[in-house]
Amino acid sequence: MSDPTADGVTPVVPSAVSLGYRDISAERVFADLVHAGRTNSVSARPEWPADAADASVGQPPFAKLVPPTGPHDLLPPPAPAIATDAPRQSWFRRSIRRSAGWIRNGFRSFWLITLLALMTALPIIQLIAFGYLLDVAGRLAKGGNLRDALDWLRPAGQLGLAILATLLVSLPIGLLGHWATVGEVISPGSPQARAMRSGAILLVVVGTLHLAWALARGGRWWHYLWPQPLRFLREAWRPRTWADAADRGAEWFGEWQFGRRFWLGLRGAIATLIWLLPATVIILANRHGQSGLAGLIGGLAFLALGITLLYLPMLQAHFAAQGRFAAMFEVRKIRGDFRRAPWAWLAALILTLVVLPIPLYLLKIEPPPPELVWLPTWLFIAFMLPARIACGLALRRAGHRPEPQGWPAALSRWLVRSLTIPVVAVYLLFVFLSQYTSWDGLQTWVHQHAVLVPAPFVGS
């Protein structure tokens, strides 16, 4: 037989040969199909002898690579194993896990808000809290999820757990110290008073070691409940144990990124104050109760402030996402985001300017004592943190959607534009009334907790 490749026709390997075995009956069926002319493409293929003894005549060059076969080769290859899903947990276990997750996240959220409230109550440190609020919106605007945006949630929960454990450990120490003091007053130098004072000192040492050992192992709740005394005796005397704990503490402290949040909050506050220049004009025009030209200038500034508030919350989130000072003034980019997600924009604006900040003006009527100024600040943080989250989610939705075309999309955008006007008008009405009810007076035009540091008073 002539060379099957001489006429420029590429031989086609039968399926049996390509699979590593030679099925004689299959080759004969294939030859019958060729002679019957069932298909045009098959008719040009060469016919090779099926007998292995004729391999020297007309056999393709790759036939030597085919391994020897046997009867077992006629069996089809085994099907690949299909991975089965793990058995689902019962509804009771799922409910327990879900409830535990809610409790854990609620505990962490409480301590996160408490920490931000304490930081906001301090004049300079409050810029770190403001930077964190901006960063939450910025991370969401860049496409991140809520867990990554609230990166302080886990360390704040660990810090709160350490504070709570310290308070619980200090309770018996304080009780024994009080009894020792009372015993010295009743019977100075009595053995009972000395015993209680020695017991208090012993509890201080044991409690300090217990807390330090729990923190060295990771600071989880089960570390405080069970100190693992055998492991303590085996590892506590090694310097490497405490060196590793110090390294983990340094990594934990670095997760807060205080310097970056302070720099972000400082730049964000400066850029926001630039946008609030119309509010400054309103203060200057009305500080002496003037009318006429001063009233006209104040009215124009009032209108300019309303236009500013249409874009300012989203501009802050965009600035935090980009990290550039100039991004705070990229109004065209924000208008493009509005065209892609107008209804998400409207929902975020309602939460940021009406639903969440307006009830807080009731807390600005009279300042609390200085030692309790962080208590109303806690409510300010609890209300304004969701507002920042809403702005970030609105920009994230706009970044994932193409700009809709057609007259329904245009009609939807114009409907949203008409609805944003009363939203801003309601907010400005409450700001106008707050200058007569708030402790800050006219300064309330600039000190707006909806777009600046969420502190109840200027002095805090």
pLDDT less than 70: residues of the chain: 1-87, 285-294, 457-460
Specify the pLDDT at position 322: 94
Token pair for 203: 């509890």
Token representation of residue 204: 């201080």
| pTM score, whole prediction | 0.75
Return d(Cα 203, Cα 198) in angstroms, integer: 9
Q: How far apart are CA 294 and CA 283, in angstroms?
A: 10
Q: Which residue has the tokens 């970056």?
A: 260
Cα–Cα distance between 137 and 334 in angstroms, integer? 14
Which pLDDT score is estimated for 437? 84
pLDDT for the residue 375: 84
Q: Which residues contact 187 (CB under 8 A, 6 or more apart)?
A: 193
Token reading at 354:
């009406």
For the chain, what is the HEC assignment?
Answer: CCCCCCCCCCCCCCHHHHCCCCCHHHHHHHHHHHHHCCCHHHHCCCCCCCCHHHCCCCCCHHHHHCCCCCHHHHCCCCCCCCCCCCCCCCHHHHHHHHHHHHHHHHHHHHHHHHHHHHHHCCCCCHHHHHHHHHHHHHHHHCCCCHHHHCCCHHHHHHHHHHHHHHHHHHHHHHHHHHHHHHHHHHCCCCHHHHHHHHHHHHHHHHHHHHHHHHHHCCCCHHHHHCCCHHHHHHHCCCHHHHHHHHHHHHHHHHCCCHHHHHHHHHHHHHHHHHHCHHHHHHHHHHCCCCCCHHHHHHHHHHHHHHHHHHHHHHHHHHHHHHCCHHHHHCHHHHHHHHHHCHHHHHHHHHHHHHHCCHHHHHHHCCCCCHHHCHHHHHHHHHHHHHHHHHHHHHHHHHHCCCCCCCHHHHHHHHHHHHHHHHHHHHHHHHHHHHHHHCCCHHHHHCCCCCCCCCCCCCCC
pLDDT of residue 429: 92
Give pLDDT, residue 81.
54
Distances (CA, A) of 2 to 6, 51, 306, 430: 8, 17, 91, 98
Closest of 334, 319, 343, 310 to residue 263, by C-alpha: 319
Predicted confidence (pLDDT) per residue in 79-138, tens digit: 555 555 556 777 888 888 889 889 999 999 999 999 999 999 888 999 999 999 999 999
For residues 392 and 317, the answer to whether their CB atoms sit within 8 Å is yes
Nearest partner of 451 among 343, 362, 360, 323, judged by Cα: 360
Q: What is the CA radius of gyration of the chain?
A: 37
Quote the CA–CA distance of 136 and 257 in Å, as a whole number. Answer: 13
How deeply is 289 buried, as exposed, middle or buried, from its count of CB atoms within 10 A (0-12, 13-18, 19+)? exposed
Question: Token pair for residue 357?
Answer: 């900040």
Closest by Cα among 173, 169, 278, 157 to 221: 157
What distance in Å separates the CA atoms of residue 62 and residue 18, rounded to the nearest whole number?
Answer: 10
Give the position of tokens 């290859």.
77
Q: Which of 207, 246, 201 is nearest to 227 (CA)?
A: 207
Distance CA 380, CA 408 (A): 39
Q: For residue range 326-345, list pLDDT tens digits in order.
A: 999 999 999 999 999 999 99
Give the Cα separation of 12 and 25 in Å (integer): 17
Provide the phi-psi class of 134: left if phi over 0, else alpha when psi is between -120 and 50, else beta: alpha
d(CA 154, CA 296): 52
In this predicted structure, what is the pLDDT of residue 288? 61
Which residue shows structure tokens 């408490």? 114
